[in-house]
Amino acid sequence: MKFSGLKAAITGAVLAVSASLAAPASATPYTEVGDAGSTVATAQLLPGGTTQIFGTNSTSDFYLFASLGGVYGFNTYGTGFVDTMLFIYNDTGTSLLAFNDDNPYPNSALSVFLAAGNYLVGIDQYSHCYSAGDISCFASDGSDPGGWSYVINISTPTGPVDEVPVPGALALLGLGLLGLGGLRRNRKAA
């Protein structure tokens, strides 16, 4: 009787700690530092869990983010009736994976499945480098008047997610199970 209460307490503690270690980090907004720029080299790295980007466009801006895998939603809006365009490229900027100009006008929105890995998300205004196949177009794009502010919202992934268990949580779970086995063995011996 005494051991069953202890067993339940240990099991509960192991599960609670395991769940807290495996929980994703809380979402955070990110504000552009200086100019995010128009090239892979100048793209700003987003911290994990970023769900909003606040920035000011000088030409076009690109951000590098890490996908956990799944379906992501992106939407934008700019100030002063700016017609935003939203771009998703592979991490080298050589392949356009998703593009949207008007959904709804003057903002942009898209939903795209991204495997686990790194990607570039970019924003510009119509019609600079419209639906450009690679990021090189933006580096030479000096015709954008810039100076407008924007927000890019990034939804957390839905659908299939490539999750990797946290090693510490698995080790803790294993220790808990070993402890439970030891309790059972001691109980049988007594």
Instruction: State yes or no: cis peptide before 104, omega within 30 of 0.
Output: yes
Per residue in 161-182, pLDDT (tens digit) is: 445 556 666 677 777 777 777 7
Select from 144, 149, 142 the least CA-distant residue to 127: 144
Which class does domain 28-154 fall in? mainly beta
Section 120-135 average pLDDT: 80
Give the range among 42-56, 87-101, 108-122, 163-177 with minimum mean pLDDT: 163-177
From the number of C-beta atoms within 10 Å of its C-beta (0-12, 13-18, 19+), residue 40 rates as middle
Mean pLDDT of 1-23: 47
Determine the distance from the C-alpha atom of residue 168 to the mean position of all C-alpha atoms in its chain, rounded to a whole number: 23
CA 61 – CA 37 distance, rounded (Å): 5
Euclidean distance between CA atoms 111 and 20, whole angstroms: 29
pLDDT at 15 (0 to 100): 41
